[in-house]
Amino acid sequence: MEKEIDFSRYTSIKIGPVKKVCIIDEAVFLEKDIFLIGGGNNILMSENPPFLAMLSKKFDFIKDDGDVLRVGAATIGGKLLSYARKYDIAGFELLHKLPGTLGGIVKMNAGLKEFCISDNLKSVLTHKGWIDKKNINFSYRSSDINDVIYEILFEKKAGFDHERLEKFKNMRKNQPSKPSAGSCFKNPLGDYAGRLLEQAGFRGKRVGGMAFSDVHANFLVNLGGGTYDEAIELIDDAQKSVLQKFGVKLELEIIVI
Ligand SMILES: Cc1cc2nc3c(=O)[nH]c(=O)nc-3n(C[C@H](O)[C@H](O)[C@H](O)COP(=O)(O)OP(=O)(O)OC[C@H]3O[C@@H](n4cnc5c(N)ncnc54)[C@H](O)[C@@H]3O)c2cc1C
């Protein structure tokens, strides 16, 4: 099955063409080389992306399997957070205002500060079967899962942490509200990308409709009508400037396709 999607509306940064997307309905091996789109919250899409696919609603579910939670990869993070709060389950507080599907969130090992989604993950279902956490390399905002994630198993520990949720809510207060794809660059070891960008004069720096936010320098925001080329120009400029000034090579957190 195929579906036509306008990525200038679908992606959180509001950039992208209208493209046909293959809808995946079964947890099988895909013959074709595809790029899987989750919620589109971490993606900067060019006019010519690779062949695109998405999971169908069949993968949007949360099942209580006794001492584990079985979650479909198309389930959005907010839904799992609400479930965890309702049934008093620990470890999902970081999903507050973390936009995306569980597939994308696990692939990116998304999180906040030292907390990340892999903390209480047990295993991941791909076409190869269930892969145990000990056989997956999770690191800061990344994982080495290169296949489509269909389902995820999480530990089910009692005790939703309301205090931690409040802490996460506070941390998000300096997050820009304009369309973005989240943090543009990963924080280099022992430093902050936002600090380096600010020191290099990129806070509020604008090219056409795109700018590094004046609220938080590491958010590349679309001020309205921003384009892929404008975003790339700002990214290149920032990387060159930070390298020249501080000798630090900023690595992209957003995925350019
Ligand atoms: C306002 C805002 C705030 C954000 N805050 C944070 C934050 O605090 N912490 C953080 O870590 N991130 C943050 N992000 C980034 C984003 O929320 C995360 O990267 C999230 O994991 C993206 O999920 P997604 O479903 O939208 O993935 P997409 O953007 O669609 O895809 C991201 C990557 O995951 C892959 N992928 C998607 N689904 C699957 C699947 N089922 N199987 C295999 N691979 C898959 C894609 O191929 C791609 O490589 C923020 C983004 C925004 C817009």
Q: Which mutation among 98, 105, 118, 171 tests ligand 1's pocket best, with the greatest number of atoms within 8 A of CB?
A: 98
Q: How many domains does the chain have?
A: 3
Q: Is 42 in the pocket of ligand 1 (CB under 6 A)?
A: yes
75 and 143 belong to one structural domain: yes
Q: 240: which residues sit within 8 A by CB, 6+ positions away?
A: none
For the question of residue 141 being annotated catalytic, the response is yes
Q: How confident is the model at residue 114 (pLDDT cuts 50, 70, 90)?
A: confident
Q: Can you tell me the mean pLDDT for 23-39?
A: 91
116 and 188 belong to one structural domain: no
pLDDT recorded at residue 32 = 79
* CATH code for the domain in which residue 205 is found: 3.90.78.10
39 Cα–ligand 1 center, Å = 7
Which residue, 139, 168, 197, sits at the end of a domain? 168
188 and 158 belong to one structural domain: no
Q: Can you tell me the mean pLDDT for 18-29?
A: 93
Q: For 40, left (φ over 0), alpha (ψ -120 to 50), or beta?
A: left
Q: Is the pLDDT of residue 120 over 90?
A: yes
Q: How confident is the model at residue 74 (pLDDT cuts 50, 70, 90)?
A: very high
For the question of residue 172 being annotated catalytic, the response is no
Q: Can you tell me the mean pLDDT for 175-185?
A: 96
50 and 65 belong to one structural domain: no
Which residue, 18, 40, 57, sits at the end of a domain? 57
d(CA 127, CA 252): 28
pLDDT recorded at residue 135 = 98
77 and 132 belong to one structural domain: yes
Buried b (16+ CB within 10 A) or exposed e, 172-209: eeeebebbbbbbbbbbbeeeebbebbbebebbebebbb
CA-CA distances (angstroms) from residue 103 to 43, 45, 136, 211, 236? 14, 18, 14, 29, 29
Q: How confident is the model at residue 29 (pLDDT cuts 50, 70, 90)?
A: confident
Shortest-distance atom of ligand 1 to CA 110: 11
Q: Is the pLDDT of residue 31 over 80?
A: no
243 and 192 belong to one structural domain: yes
pLDDT recorded at residue 139 = 94
3-state secondary structure 187-220: CCCCCCHHHHHHHCCCCCCEECCEEECCCCCCEE
* CATH code for the domain in which residue 40 is found: 3.30.43
pLDDT recorded at residue 124 = 98
Per the structure, the complete domain to which residue 214 belongs is given by 176-256
151 and 208 belong to one structural domain: no
8 and 73 belong to one structural domain: no
pLDDT recorded at residue 174 = 81
What are the pLDDT digits (tens) for 124-161? 999 999 999 999 999 989 999 999 999 999 999 999 99
119 and 22 belong to one structural domain: no
50 and 95 belong to one structural domain: no
Which residue, 57, 79, 97, sits at the end of a domain? 57
45 and 140 belong to one structural domain: no
- For the chain, the residue count is 257
Q: Which mutation among 5, 21, 29, 42 tests ligand 1's pocket best, with the greatest number of atoms within 8 A of CB?
A: 42
pLDDT recorded at residue 30 = 82
Active-site residue, selected from the candidate residues 8, 46, 56, 141:
141
pLDDT recorded at residue 17 = 98
Residue appearing with tokens 């959180």: 12
Residue appearing with tokens 């960008």: 197
* CATH code for the domain in which residue 162 is found: 3.30.465.10
Two tokens, residue 225:
């009508």
151 and 92 belong to one structural domain: yes
Q: How confident is the model at residue 84 (pLDDT cuts 50, 70, 90)?
A: very high
Task: Tell me the pLDDT of the chain averaged across its residues.
Answer: 96
d(CA 158, CA 88): 6
Q: Considering the chain, what percentage of its residues have pLDDT values greater than 70?
A: 100
